[in-house]
Amino acid sequence: MLRFFLLSLLVLWQCSPNRHTEIYRFDHIIVTKFPTNPPPAFPQSFFPENVSFLSSSEFKTSHIHTKEAYLVIESTDSWEDIQKRIDLRANQGDWKLIEKNANEVEVSYLLEGFIKKSLSIYLSKNGEKHQLRYYFKKHSSY
């Protein structure tokens, strides 16, 4: 019985997702699998309450200035709550909602920020969890 328990535990441990952070750097590009924090270019107020970071990438023009960034997260928040949070945040004024497209399985947002910045958000249904993809681009050299 103990042998069966230990074998079961080993199988479950081997089958569980391995979610340790992996970071790859090449010059001004940083790619992270299962990051602990999002890239600083993203306004976190657009994120749902319950998130898991899956992957991110950043292209920096210097050590502190991000030119482009990409982030993929999962959330267990409801489809409606996520959309409501993004809509409310977009109406606060510092990001202007340019376009929103929605259907039953995906919603996309295109927002414009100060100093020639853009933010795209794609929300898609993925079973019980919802996946969000964020893309940030700074179009100026400020």
Tens-place pLDDT, residues 79-122: 999 999 999 999 888 899 999 999 989 999 999 988 889 999 99
Residue 16 inside a domain? The answer is: no
Task: Please give the model's pTM, rounded to 2 decimal places.
Answer: 0.82
Residue 106 inside a domain? The answer is: yes
Choose among 133, 89, 95, 139: nearest CA to 117. 139
Residue 40 inside a domain? The answer is: yes
Q: How many domains does the chain have?
A: 1
What range does the domain containing 131 cover?
22-138
pLDDT tens readout for residues 6-42? 333 334 444 445 678 999 998 888 999 999 999 888 9
127 vs 85, more confident:
85
Residue 44 inside a domain? The answer is: yes
Residue 49 inside a domain? The answer is: yes
Residue 7 inside a domain? The answer is: no
Choose among 11, 104, 12, 95: nearest CA to 46. 95
At 17 the pLDDT is 59
Cα angle: 31, vertex 28, 47; to 5 degrees: 45
As given in the structure block, the two tokens for residue 32 are: 């992270």
Q: Supply the CATH number for residue 77's domain.
A: 3.40.1000
Residue 95 inside a domain? The answer is: yes
Residue 6 inside a domain? The answer is: no
